[in-house]
């Protein structure tokens, strides 16, 4: 890929000392933590956040998954305005670029970035507009907080995501324009840490992932938090919180962009295919529990309290 701006390959953080790297990469300060949990925090201090930034987008849950839990994935997008440009959303780009214009004019916009206004939809829209206005071969570097303006919901067509999960980040570059220098180093670091991930096909926004010697199912659910917690509490109290049919255990949930993401630790030999029928069955049981609007029993209230103590919030 041709670099049009030499300064874009190494953008300092607000400290002026620690270079920007991918959110999941080790922080260059040497702390041993991911950049996201270390110096990346310094560029993302906005407190006024949109609770559900991807609401009203088709496949909101998969947008959240690509931003928060999926290592490497892409999906084509269509613009609302007439255009012959090909546009793709991806999880992350080299050097934590918010966007990249390939030499052939294809536009890639990233969801896992180091800075934010508190509205990821607005931030991504800014990156998209900048990329559409840039020349081929141009990376779009992190920038300051954007002012008011359009969000993704205003720029892209209402259509389902067609997600491809990748086993490496080699899709960042092409054979005609291979990575070099710091971009190549960023690619190699990312590839060394990519986690094998599979998106289930039987339900929406559920992802099997292998993390070291453990395997998990992480499922982004679309329901409002309070009724969803009630439903999960009913299932837990009844002994039905685990996925049916094989060895696994519910380990908790976390909040991400306004949605809850339940997590199950799977048996070490459990494949993604084995999760398909179990996810369907659990989804059916969850639907029944969601439809029950009666007051929780004391046992169910205790189960709900336990679920809440095992929650964390991302960002």
Bigger pLDDT: 136 or 38? 136
Let me know: does 58 contact 160? Beta carbons within 8 Å.
Answer: yes
The 10 Å Cβ neighbour count of residue 306 is 13
The pLDDT of residue 80 is 95
Class of the CATH-defined domain 200-313? alpha beta
Give the least confident one: 8-17, 148-157, 193-202: 8-17
Domains of the chain, by residue range, sit at 6-193, 200-313
Mean predicted confidence (pLDDT) in 291-315:
88
Rounded to whole angstroms, the Cα distance separating 123 from 150 reads 9
pLDDT tens by residue, 164-206: 999 999 888 776 666 677 878 888 888 888 999 999 999 999 9
Burial class (CB in 10 A: 0-12, 13-18, 19+), 25: buried
CA 172 to chain centre: 17
Q: How confident is the model at residue 70 (pLDDT cuts 50, 70, 90)?
A: very high
Q: Give the C-alpha separation, 209 to 167, whole Å.
A: 11
């Amino acid at each position: 890929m041709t670099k049009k701006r030499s300064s874009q390959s190494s953008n300092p953080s607000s400290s002026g000392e620690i270079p920007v790297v991918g959110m999941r990469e080790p922080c260059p300060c040497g702390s041993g933590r991911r950049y996201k949990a270390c110096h990346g925090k310094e560029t993302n201090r906005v407190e006024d956040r949109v609770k559900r930034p991807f609401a009203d987008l088709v496949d909101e849950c998969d947008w959240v998954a690509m931003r928060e839990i999926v290592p490497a994935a892409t999906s084509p997008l269509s613009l609302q305005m007439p255009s012959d440009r090909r546009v793709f959303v991806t999880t992350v780009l080299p050097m934590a670029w918010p966007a990249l214009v390939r030499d052939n004019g294809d536009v890639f916009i990233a969801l896992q970035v180091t800075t934010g206004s508190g509205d990821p939809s607005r931030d991504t829209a800014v990156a998209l507009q900048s990329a559409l206005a840039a020349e081929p071969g141009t990376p779009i570097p992190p920038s300051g907080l954007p002012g008011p303006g359009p969000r993704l919901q205003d720029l892209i067509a209402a259509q389902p995501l067609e997600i491809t999960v990748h086993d490496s980040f080699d899709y960042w570059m092409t054979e005609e324009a291979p990575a070099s220098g710091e971009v190549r180093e960023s690619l190699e670091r990312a590839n060394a840490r990519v986690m094998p991930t599979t998106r289930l096909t039987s339900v929406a926004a559920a992802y099997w992932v292998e993390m070291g010697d453990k395997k998990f199912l992480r499922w982004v659910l679309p329901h409002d938090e309070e009724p969803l917690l009630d439903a999960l509490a009913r299932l837990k109290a009844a002994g039905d919180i685990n996925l049916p049919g094989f060895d696994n255990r519910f380990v908790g949930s976390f909040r991400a962009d306004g949605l809850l993401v339940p997590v199950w630790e799977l048996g070490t030999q459990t494949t993604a295919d084995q999760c398909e029928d179990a996810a369907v069955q659990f989804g059916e049981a969850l639907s029944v529990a969601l439809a029950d609007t009666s007051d929780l029993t004391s046992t169910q209230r205790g189960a709900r309290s336990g679920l809440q103590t095992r929650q964390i919030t991302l960002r």
